[in-house]
């Protein structure tokens, strides 16, 4: 029998490193995965889905190392419904203090057709694979993929089989983001009422955001009896993404009056991890994104500002500090010293060794010379831009761009590639096109530009621009980022950063590349 406390506690299962990282272009390096796992563990995430061990050597290594290093969180790996996947997953998570195997199979009519199994054959496969997993590990999660489009009687049947075979958590995925809140609540309620043994397990909800309802559907599932929410930082994930961790956690915290549930998340860590995930995945957070968007706590209009000054509760339902935003955006400038910079960076979640601080301080001074006021966002952009700079294969030495109303624009560029310096002049349809053409002339490559995005970090004509560039080469995708007060320079550096990442990745093919199609569940 669950106690009252357990009854009201919602377990947070984070899948940023698995479902989030699966999103095209969001691939993270090994070190980045370890860092994000540590931040998730520190913020109180109950279960970290660290990867899909059979997918590649790189995934296996990352899950194994996260399992070995984890402090408090359960470490989970994903496995399709076959013994090979499950064994590999167990090998990766077994060294965690608290390992979990998560195995799944698509149960809806469309998904049953892929391995060409009839209902009985699939039921037998579920029984055999969950039994096999349970013989290895006593913490087993089972998911009927595309559950929200599976016939209810068949869903009840396979959930019962998996519970009898030893599953301890039953996850009900809305794989294609199809369900709606009332339906989401009713589905969980129906399963709890109808399936024998349902009160012995925890039901989880795993929603995708294709119709923008992932957060609402997850919270409704909790109302229906689910006590585990699967989510990702910033809602990262395939297509429109997964349920955003920060949204469900803050909704439960702020609206405890009507949703009397709680989580173990230390919400003051939200902003820091959101920034790190945005940076390492190369997926910037939209400005008006709930909780973690740049404008989420900004009050622009006169009426709002007036109200805020009189009583912040007039327009604010949560305090910025609750999510880890500093109450004051202390501005630094060219007279600020090293101690002020260190303290500001620590507040933003960057703890630097002395030699790192020395390097950042030089770059900070360069920026402060060009820009009168350096805001938090400028420092974050500066930190993110500096992450890949060391030991780069391609380095931008100089760029001069000539613009005119009657074009074509011209870029004069000097690059160092593999230690050799060379220069060229290239033209293009606009300054960025000319710049990219110059890079192509000096470093010939077959990578295709998939995405080019520019954001102004702060307001004003001296604002820094952050640029994201996503490139694809032979199925490898890399995202480069950079920031500069000059948009064209930031574009050149972001483009070169993506090429450097592809260069590294090329040397590691087989280690980072997914070798199996995770959807191939036969
Ligand atoms: O969306 C989904 O169905 C999944 C499963 C693997 C749980 O991510
Ligand atoms: Zn998913």
Residues 106-133 as b/e (b if ≥16 CB within 10 A, e otherwise) read bbbeebbeebebeeeebbebbbebbbbb
Same domain, 81 and 17: yes
Same domain, 55 and 144: yes
Is the CB of residue 160 below 6 angstroms from any atom belonging to ligand 1? no
**If you count DSSP H runs as helices and E runs as strands, how many of each does the chain have, helices first?**
17, 14
Nearest to 487 by CA among 511, 468, 465, 471: 465
Same domain, 214 and 306: no
State in Å: Cα 173 to ligand 1 middle. Answer: 6
| pLDDT tens, residue by residue, 325-339 | 875 556 788 888 998
Reported as a pLDDT band with limits 50, 70 and 90, residue 387 is low
Pocket probe mutation, ligand 1, options 14, 19, 22, 229, max atoms within 8 Å of Cβ: 19
Instruction: Quote the CA–CA distance of 186 and 177 in Å, as a whole number.
Output: 16
Same domain, 339 and 313: no
User: Does 509 have pLDDT greater than 70?
Assistant: no
Instruction: Quote the CA–CA distance of 269 and 389 in Å, as a whole number.
Output: 27
Same domain, 309 and 403: no
Same domain, 321 and 427: no
Q: Mean of the per-residue pLDDT values for the chain?
A: 89
Pocket probe mutation, ligand 1, options 145, 148, 208, max atoms within 8 Å of Cβ: 145
The CATH number of residue 434's host domain is 3.30.160.270
Is the CB of residue 206 below 6 angstroms from any atom belonging to ligand 1? yes
Q: CA geometry: angle at 475 spanning 83 and 423, to 5°? A: 150
| pLDDT tens, residue by residue, 245-258 | 999 999 999 999 99
Q: What is the distance, to the nearest Å, from the Cα of residue 461 to the centroid of all Cα atoms in its chain?
A: 31
Q: Whose CA is nearest to atom 2 of ligand 1?
A: 175
Last residue of a domain, one of 281, 313, 338: 281
Domain range enclosing 436: 394-510
140-149, 296-305, 470-479, range with greatest mean pLDDT: 140-149
| pLDDT tens, residue by residue, 112-170 | 999 999 999 999 999 999 999 999 999 999 999 999 999 999 999 999 999 999 999 99
Residue 92 pLDDT: 98
Is the CB of residue 13 below 6 angstroms from any atom belonging to ligand 1? no
Reported as a pLDDT band with limits 50, 70 and 90, residue 200 is very high
Specify the pTM.
0.81
């Amino acid at each position: 029998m669950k106690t009252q406390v357990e009854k009201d506690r919602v377990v947070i299962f984070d899948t940023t490193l698995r479902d989030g990282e699966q999103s095209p272009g969001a691939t993270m390096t090994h070190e980045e995965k370890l860092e994000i796992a540590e931040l998730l563990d520190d913020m109180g995430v109950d279960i970290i889905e660290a990867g899909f061990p059979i997918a590649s050597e790189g995934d296996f290594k990352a899950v194994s190392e996260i399992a070995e290093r984890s402090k408090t969180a359960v470490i989970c790996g994903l496995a399709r419904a076959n013994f090979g996947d499950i064994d590999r997953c167990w090998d990766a998570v077994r060294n965690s203090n608290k390992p979990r195997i998560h195995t799944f199979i698509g149960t809806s009519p469309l998904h049953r057709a892929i391995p060409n199994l009839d209902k009985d054959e699939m039921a037998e496969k579920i029984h055999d694979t969950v039994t096999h997993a349970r013989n290895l590990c006593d913490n087993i999660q089972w998911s009927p993929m595309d559950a929200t489009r599976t016939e209810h009687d068949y869903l009840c049947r396979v959930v019962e089989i998996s519970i009898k075979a030893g599953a301890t958590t039953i996850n009900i995925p809305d794989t294609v983001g199809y369900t709606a809140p009332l339906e989401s609540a009713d589905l969980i309620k129906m399963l709890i009422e109808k399936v024998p043994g349902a009160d012995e397990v925890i039901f989880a909800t795993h929603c995708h955001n294709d119709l923008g309802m992932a957060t609402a559907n997850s919270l409704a599932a909790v109302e229906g009896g689910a006590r585990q929410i699967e989510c990702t930082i910033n809602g990262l994930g395939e297509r429109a993404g997964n349920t955003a961790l920060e949204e469900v956690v803050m909704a439960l915290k702020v609206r405890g009056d009507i949703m009397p549930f709680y989580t173990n998340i230390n919400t003051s860590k939200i902003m820091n991890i959101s920034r790190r995930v945005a940076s390492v995945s190369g997926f910037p957070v939209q400005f008006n994104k709930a909780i973690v968007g740049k404008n989420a706590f900004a009050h622009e209009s006169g009426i709002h500002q007036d109200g805020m000054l009189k009583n912040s509760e007039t327009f604010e339902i949560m305090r910025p500090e609750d999510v880890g935003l500093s109450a004051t955006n202390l501005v630094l400038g060219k007279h600020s010293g090293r101690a002020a910079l260190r303290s500001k960076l620590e507040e933003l979640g960057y703890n630097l060794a002395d030699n790192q601080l020395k390097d950042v301080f030089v770059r900070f001074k360069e920026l402060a010379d060009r820009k009168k006021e350096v805001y938090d966002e400028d420092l974050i952009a500066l930190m993110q831009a500096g992450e890949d700079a060391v030991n780069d294969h391609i380095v931008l030495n100089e760029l001069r761009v000539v613009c005119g109303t009657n074009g074509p624009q011209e870029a004069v560029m000097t690059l160092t590639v593999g230690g050799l310096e060379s220069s060229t002049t290239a033209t293009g349809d606009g300054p960025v096109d000319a710049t990219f053409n110059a890079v192509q002339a000096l470093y010939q490559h077959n990578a295709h530009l998939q995405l080019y995005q520019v954001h102004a970090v702060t307001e004003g004509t001296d604002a820094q621009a952050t640029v994201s560039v996503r490139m694809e080469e032979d199925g490898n995708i890399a995202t480069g980022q950079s920031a500069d007060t000059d948009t064209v320079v930031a574009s050149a550096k972001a483009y070169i950063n993506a090429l450097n990442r592809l260069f590294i990745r090329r040397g590691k093919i087989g280690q980072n590349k997914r070798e199996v199609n995770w959807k191939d569940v036969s």
